[in-house]
Amino acid sequence: MFSALSDSLDKTFRNLRGVGKISEKNITDALREIRLALLEADVEFGVAKEFIAKVKEKAMGVDVFKSIKPGEQIVKIFNDELTHLLGDDAEALNLNPPAHILLCGLNGAGKTTTAAKLALRLQKEGRRPLLIACDLYRPAAIDQLATLAKQINVPCFTPDPDEKNLVKVAKQALAWAKDQQGTALIFDTAGRQEIDEKLVAELKELHRFVSPAETLLVADSATGQQAVSVARHFDEAVGITGIILTKLDGDARGGAALSMRQVTGRPIKFIGEGEKLDQFGVFHPERMASRILGMGDVVSMVETAAENINEKDAIKAAERIQSGKFDFNDFLDQMNMLRKLGPLDGLLGMLPGFNKIKKQIPADAFDENKMKRMEAIVLSMTPRERTRPELIKGSRRRRIANGSGNTIIEVNRFLKQFTQMRKMMKSKGKMKNMMQQLGGMEGMEGMGDMNSLLGGKGGGKLPKLPF
């Protein structure tokens, strides 16, 4: 998400930084390019126009013209205004009892999955969430929510399949919730392909009965300008209190995220960046602004690592790597550790300047299937072969190839890559140095050098992965 916009902004600001003295023409030309980039990214026209006007007003100030580095000053102004556009600060949910949370949105936005993601997050915070299925139209919607609730061990109210009275279902759910001792009730509602009178009428009726403290619009960030219109209509209908943006891990242009806060006046409270239930987090405007400007989001990266990686295991892995004892068992552990962090491209996207080197990485480098095929090769080895990679010669390689469903060429290529990575991990890798710079997050170097996992050699242009 935002990659095209980030590239355009990076090019414009790079040109500004290269100018020793800023003139009104420099600023006007740069802002014209930025405005076009915003519009191409699906930012709503009025929002883009107003945003550029504010940046221009501050960029034309005396302090900028007299600055030793005027280009850097303008970048800071842009960053500050972008953060303000996105909402300045993260806004927490209103969970004062009774904490009723009503989710609404169109079909396909991901309401049901988002309901489970939100429940899991509240559960981790020490609360007792309850899920309530109020989508009485979409086939299997109730079963889907019940299945997700079971995965995260959260109680779920499922109405009679033949019941079509939404208020009656809500009444039954509230009576059920009293016996569950829940502290937050999450209502998953029905959607439509587009907003219609029937949908609005049902939502209004449910909203009046439930009286939710939070009415959150679940919006697909890939829908562009339509998402802005949808947000406006839902806000007028039931008065939304916040927005949850889904599918931020996609490759859409993402302008909706920049427009919805301004158009509705409602904060973006959460974002979903993957299909897994734990890929869900609080929306931080300043961090998102930094990511859009290619400055990375190191804070979120460290938080993700701290939440998902066991420090003792990471330290143990680091010690084995530094002692030169890294084997295929350790390799499997590293892959599992990476999986816990979510999609690899999303993780690396939090690094400052990653967008500038992303083009050097093969397009298929982040393919989950590729990692599964490497894992299959390792799992086809005997325990002795995993601890002593040097034993894997001719006949053993053929057996491993047959057992993993790969060709002998692919196995040979993988073993060669592993040997190179093993040698590199004996020295101090880039990841270790980076983690030390982030504040010495002890043990994280156990993840090894990301470059090696992508098929690199520790510097320069990255070659292709084994397959």
User: Does the annotation place 278 within a ligand binding site?
Assistant: no
Burial of 409: CB neighbours in 10 Å, binned 0-12, 13-18, 19+? exposed
Tokens at 2, concatenated: 């935002």
Backbone phi, then psi, for 97, in 5-degree steps?
Answer: -65, 145
Task: Tell me if 248 is assigned to a ligand binding site.
Answer: yes
**Is 188 marked as binding a ligand?**
yes
Query: How far apart are the C-alpha atoms of 361 and 463, rounded to whole Å?
Result: 7
Give the 3-state secondary structure of residue 439.
Answer: coil
Q: Where are the domains of the chain?
A: 3-86, 100-295, 302-453
Say which CATH topology domain 100-295 has. Answer: Rossmann fold (3.40.50)
Q: Within 181-322, where are the H helices? A: 197-210, 225-238, 255-264, 285-292, 298-308, 311-322
Return the CATH architecture of domain 3-86. Answer: Up-down Bundle (1.20)
HSE of 360, CA atoms in CB hemisphere, 13 A:
15
Q: With 50 as the cut, is the pLDDT of residue 54 above it? A: yes
Fold designation for 302-453 = 434 Repressor (Amino-terminal Domain) (1.10.260)
Q: Please indicate if the annotation marks 109 as binding a ligand.
A: yes
pTM, whole model, 2 decimals?
0.68
Give the distance, in angstroms, between the CA of residue 28 and the centroid of all CA atoms in the same chain: 34
Is 458 within any annotated ligand binding site? no
Cβ neighbours around 315 below 10 Å, total:
15
**Average pLDDT over every residue of 315-325:** 67
Tokens 């600023």 found at: 27
With contact defined as beta carbons under 8 Å apart, do 254 and 42 qualify? yes
pLDDT > 70 fraction of the chain, expressed in percent and rounded: 74
**Whether 265 contacts 85, CB under 8 Å:** no
Q: In the chain, what percentage of residues exceed pLDDT 90?
A: 28
Q: Answer yes or no: is 190 a known binding residue.
A: yes
* 264 marked among binding-site residues: no
Comparison of pLDDT for 439 and 153, the residue scoring more: 153
Residues 157-190: pLDDT tens digits? 999 888 889 999 999 999 999 999 889 999 999 8
What value does the mean pLDDT take over residues 144-151? 96
Query: What digits encode the pLDDT tens for the residues 299-314?
Result: 555 556 666 666 677 6
Residues 6+ apart with CB under 8 A from 28: 56
Ligand-binding annotation for 272, yes or no, is: no
The reply, when asked if residue 276 is annotated as ligand binding, is: no
